[in-house]
């Protein structure tokens, strides 16, 4: 692990243990999906997180060690990991938090990492205090605000997750260059979204209905790629990180969004974090889609 030089891409947020419908545990969290996507697109990526993954057995620890071979990971000590259970009830996802790893201390970042090329704030459960982000000085600051919107009874105990307006994040609005959220979150975060959209880029993902991108006040819609879904967990995070890293490197907005949509589609067609595609795989997918379209 290299602390002396800033990574190209730094994701901050809880790596989680996600319990699937059948109870199988799998590593997840926006920071993990985003960091791996950046790495597989050729960037030197890093993650700052907090948790205790030994609580969920050797398979989870092995998975984390495997991913640490691709991405530099700093894990701040905790008594437990953040654990989510996701169930589909009446065609809607119900999310329950079983345990919470606690707040991430941004002062624990290596000094060089605070000026990483791209920093994505990727909270999933109120683990990042927005005011602490003043310590960060990236060339490009982006965020997926879902974790600032999630609340549950007791906040540190098990409970069903509800969404609320991310008022605490408004202090960062003038600094955020890129923001990505889903349609339900956008309804509750319109003030934050509108503020960022005036000077940066905002993406509103809508599942099979595609994505709306607002680039410095100019909106456009992009359809989703038709693909058989297997596991949608993390697809929005993959879309967001790929969009952000391409825009940070000055690739055109429409092309960036199309590549990000293709990366998300390939993620959905696979399983967990291991199914996040490389840029080469995404380019091959886009070429195949273009060939089919010409016929």
Domains of the chain with CATH codes: 9-294 (3.40.1190.20)
pLDDT-based confidence at residue 2 (cuts at 50, 70, 90): low
Average pLDDT over residues 161-185: 95
pLDDT-based confidence at residue 134 (cuts at 50, 70, 90): confident
Structure tokens at 32: 């993990």
Least confident among 85-89, 169-173, 189-193: 85-89
Global confidence as pTM:
0.94
pLDDT at residue number 207: 85
pLDDT at residue number 86: 83
Examine the pLDDT at 293 and tell me if it is beyond 60: no
pLDDT at residue number 8: 98
pLDDT, one tens digit per residue, over 211-261 is 999 999 999 999 999 877 667 889 999 999 999 999 999 999 999 999 999
pLDDT at residue number 291: 66
Examine the pLDDT at 287 and tell me if it is beyond 80: yes
Mean pLDDT of the chain: 92
Average pLDDT over residues 189-200: 96
Average pLDDT over residues 124-130: 96
Average pLDDT over residues 66-70: 95
pLDDT at residue number 295: 44
Average pLDDT over residues 269-294: 85
3-state secondary structure of 169: helix
Examine the pLDDT at 92 and tell me if it is beyond 60: yes
Rounded-to-integer distance, Cα 96 and Cα 194, Å: 29
Q: How far is CA 242 from CA 176, 245, 247, in A?
A: 16, 5, 9
Rounded-to-integer distance, Cα 92 and Cα 214, Å: 27
Determine which helix (DSSP H) or strand (DSSP E) holds 279, and give its type and residue range. Answer: helix 279-294
Give strand ranges (E) for the chain: 9-12, 16-19, 25-28, 45-50, 72-76, 82-89, 92-99, 118-121, 140-143, 150-151, 159-160, 162-163, 178-182, 201-205, 211-215, 218-222
Regarding predicted confidence, which is higher, 208 or 70? Answer: 70
């Amino acid at each position: 692990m290299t602390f002396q030089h800033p990574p190209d891409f730094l994701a901050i947020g809880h790596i989680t243990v996600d319990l699937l419908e059948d109870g199988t545990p799998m590593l997840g969290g926006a920071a993990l999906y985003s960091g791996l996507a950046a790495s597989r697109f050729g960037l030197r990526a890093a993650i700052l997180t907090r948790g205790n993954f030994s609580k969920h057995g050797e398979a989870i620890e092995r998975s984390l060690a495997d991913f640490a071979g691709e991405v530099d990971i700093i894990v701040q000590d905790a008594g437990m990991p953040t654990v989510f259970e996701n169930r589909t009830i009446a065609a809607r996802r119900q999310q329950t938090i079983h345990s919470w790893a606690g707040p991430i201390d941004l002062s624990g970042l290596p000094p060089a990492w605070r000026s990483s090329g791209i920093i994505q704030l990727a909270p999933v459960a109120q683990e990042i205090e927005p005011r602490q982000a003043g310590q960060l000085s990236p060339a490009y600051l982006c965020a997926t605000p879902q974790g600032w919107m999630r609340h549950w009874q007791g906040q540190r105990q098990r409970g069903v997750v509800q969404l609320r307006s991310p008022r605490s994040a408004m202090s960062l609005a003038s600094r955020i260059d890129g923001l990505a959220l889903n349609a339900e979150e956008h309804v509750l975060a319109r003030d934050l979204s509108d503020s960022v959209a005036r000077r940066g880029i905002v993406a509103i993902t809508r599942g099979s209905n595609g994505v709306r991108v607002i680039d410095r006040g100019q909106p456009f819609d992009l359809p989703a790629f038709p693909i058989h879904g297997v596991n949608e967990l993390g697809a929005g995070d993959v879309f967001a990180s790929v969009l952000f890293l391409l825009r940070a490197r000055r690739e055109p907005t429409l092309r960036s969004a199309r590549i990000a949509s293709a990366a998300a589609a390939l993620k959905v067609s696979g399983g967990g974090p291991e199914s996040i595609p490389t840029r080469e795989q995404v380019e091959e997918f886009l070429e195949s889609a273009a060939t089919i379209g010409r016929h």
